[in-house]
């Protein structure tokens, strides 16, 4: 007979939990035999006492097996995915899934919603009229097999233990635990039946991992635990001390992804670099390219030929969206009634962004959630966002605000101006590297 309170006591005293104890806990999460107080207590004990690698692997595997585990028998190519730890303006999944599919990978991407100041891929896709982020399992399977990719929302039957544990951690201040974050991410990815995973660990003032040390610890944990659970994983630690790309906000980011895939405009350099870097990791993990330079050439060719854009268009149509979204995005994506510039208060070089604050501007505009059930205004956000290092004259737009009304636009303009730093344009300035480290 195993008692919840004895398992909590063992962890409280700093002991390592064995597989049977961890499985007892995970079963209790799903069947309700562990009370809310007991779940919270073990979460806090783990938060304070930590977990060894073997414990984290056991927790990850138990949560993975707490619900349905997808299998992809007879796939003609490798089953691959990418996960980002969340940033501001991070729309990479929208481009990467069809791009990797165009290179021979199969990408069953089960994405998340926005969390706090960070936007969620599923929310962005729901800015597309008709797009079904919760298709029937058989449809998801068929679309991945025929098109090579489908990006959908989390289903309740994949790693259900994680859903309950995360909800409790969220309200008991135990989210920022490396082993618990690791198990939460990997249990869902393992349940998706992957053969290779590229992790994008964001690091900086717009990221969950604010410091390089925390980013390194999280990336190493994910790579090691994934290996222990049998999933080949590579992690990039990438800079999130500025907004990624020119757009932030749901419909605006979808438009940005379409512009990127079509290639009608020059591609924003950091967005392009990160897309190629993560795509290359996926192709090499899946054996679709011999090395990184070969993978990058293949990805660039799939962009240049229009093959990646075609996959995106086909995926949108297969999941219920407009068949002509790629050709006529302006006819389908919602637009805000008020669009106003954020004028630079003086001339100078843009040398700093409080990126988290810019993410919160989107929430204030209505483009994110304060409470889990909140409706989102898909139209609002920022675009034509200037990047660090850009030199502006007085009055030049730092960004364009898209808002529901003038009062909201006024507030957003003031908030954006409060979150940027302009320095003398003649002072020396060096760009930070986008990819800060690679692990795995």
250, 254, 257, 259 alpha-carbon torsion, rounded to 10°: -120
Shared domain check, 297 and 149: yes
Q: Is residue 73 domain-resident? A: no
Same domain, 234 and 101: yes
Domain with residue 371: its CATH number is 3.90.1170.30
Q: How far apart are alpha carbons 318 and 137 in whole angstroms? A: 14
Helix pair angle (292-304, 307-318), 10° resolution: 70
Place of tokens 């679709």: 288
- Phi, psi angle pair for 416, to nearest 5°: -65, -45
Q: Which of 102, 91, 71 is nearest to 283 (CA)?
A: 102
Flag whether 355 is in a domain. Answer: yes
Residue 370 pLDDT greater than 90, yes or no: no
Report the pLDDT value the prediction gives residue 1, as an integer from 0 to 100: 77
Annotate 155-172 with b (16+ C-beta within 10 A) or e (fewer). Answer: beebbbbbbbbbebbeeb
Read off the tokens for 241.
């001390």
Structure tokens at 229: 């659970």
Question: 231 in a domain, yes or no?
Answer: yes
pLDDT value at 171 more than 90: no
Residues 124 and 251 grouped into a single domain: yes
Same domain, yes or no: 243 and 284: yes
203, 252: one domain: yes
Q: Classify residue 107: in a domain, yes or no.
A: yes
Tell me whether residue 189 is in a domain.
yes
Give the number of residues written for the chain: 440
Would you give the end-to-end CA distance of the chain in angstroms?
40
40 and 118 in a single domain? The answer is: no
pLDDT of 45 > 90? The answer is yes
The answer on 350 and 310 residing in a single domain is no
For 422, the token pair is 């302009």
The residue-averaged pLDDT of 342-370 equals: 94
**Residue 170 and residue 261 in one domain:** yes
**Residues 26/198, Cβ–Cβ less than 8 Å:** no
- Mind telling me the catalytic residues? 81-84, 121, 169, 184, 188-189
Residue 406 in domain: yes
Are 223 and 345 within one domain? Answer: no
How many separate domains does the chain show? 3
Q: Is residue 327 part of a domain?
A: no
Q: Is position 216 within any domain?
A: yes
The dihedral over CA atoms of 345, 349, 355, 360, expressed in degrees to the nearest 10, equals 20
- Tell me the CATH number at 102: 3.40.1030.10
Q: How far apart are CA 151 and CA 432, in angstroms?
A: 31
pLDDT digits (tens, 9 = 90+) for 86-127: 899 999 999 999 999 999 999 999 998 876 777 789 999 999
Are residues 192 and 306 located together in one domain of the fold? yes
Q: To which residue do tokens 């899946």 refer?
A: 286
Average pLDDT, the chain: 95
Q: Specify whether 290 is located in the same domain as 398.
A: no
Task: Give the CATH number for residue 30.
Answer: 1.20.970.10
Domain encompassing residue 238? 80-318
Are 407 and 289 members of one domain?
no
């Amino acid at each position: 007979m195993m008692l919840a309170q004895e398992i909590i006591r063992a962890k409280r005293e700093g002991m390592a939990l064995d597989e049977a104890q961890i499985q007892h806990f995970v079963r209790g999460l799903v069947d309700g035999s562990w009370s809310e107080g007991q779940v919270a207590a073990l979460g806090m004990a783990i938060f304070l006492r930590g977990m060894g690698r073997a414990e984290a692997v056991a927790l990850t595997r138990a949560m993975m097996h707490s619900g349905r585990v997808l299998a992809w028998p007879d796939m003609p190519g490798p089953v691959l995915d990418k996960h980002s730890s969340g940033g501001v303006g991070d729309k990479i999944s929208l481009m990467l899934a069809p791009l990797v599919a165009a290179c021979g990978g199969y990408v069953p991407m089960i994405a998340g919603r926005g969390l706090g100041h960070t936007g969620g891929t599923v929310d962005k896709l729901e800015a597309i009229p008709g797009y079904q982020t919760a298709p029937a399992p058989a449809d998801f399977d068929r679309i991945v097999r025929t098109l090579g990719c489908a990006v959908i929302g989390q289903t309740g039957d994949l790693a259900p233990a994680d859903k309950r544990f995360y909800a409790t951690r969220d309200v008991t201040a135990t989210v920022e635990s490396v082993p618990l974050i690791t198990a939460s991410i990997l249990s869902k990815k393992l349940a998706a039946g992957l053969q290779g995973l590229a992790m994008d660990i964001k690091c900086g003032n717009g990221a969950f991992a604010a410091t390089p040390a925390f980013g390194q610890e999280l990336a190493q944990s994910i790579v090691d635990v994934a290996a222990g659970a049998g999933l080949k994983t590579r992690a990039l630690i990438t800079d999130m001390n500025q907004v990624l790309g020119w757009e932030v906000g749901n419909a605006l980011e979808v438009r940005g992804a379409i512009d990127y895939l079509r290639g009608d405009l020059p591609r924003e350099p950091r967005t392009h670099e990160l897309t190629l870097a993560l795509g290359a990791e996926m192709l090499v993990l899946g054996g679709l390219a011999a090395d990184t330079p070969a993978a990058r050439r293949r990805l660039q060719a799939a962009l240049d030929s229009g093959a990646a854009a075609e996959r995106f268009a086909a995926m949108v149509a297969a999941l219920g969206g407009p068949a002509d979204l790629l050709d006529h995005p302006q006819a389908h994506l919602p637009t805000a009634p008020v669009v106003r510039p954020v004028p630079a208060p003086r001339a100078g070089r843009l040398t700093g962004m409080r990126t988290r604050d810019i993410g919160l501007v989107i929430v204030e505009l209505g483009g994110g959630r304060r409470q889990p059930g909140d409706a989102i205004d898909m139209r609002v956000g920022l675009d034509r966002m200037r990047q660090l290092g850009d030199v502006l004259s007085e009055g030049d737009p730092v960004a364009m605000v898209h808002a529901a009304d003038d009062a909201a636009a006024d507030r957003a303009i003031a908030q954006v101006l409060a979150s940027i730093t302009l320095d003398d344009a003649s002072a020396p300035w060096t760009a930070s590297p986008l990819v800060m480290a690679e692990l795995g």
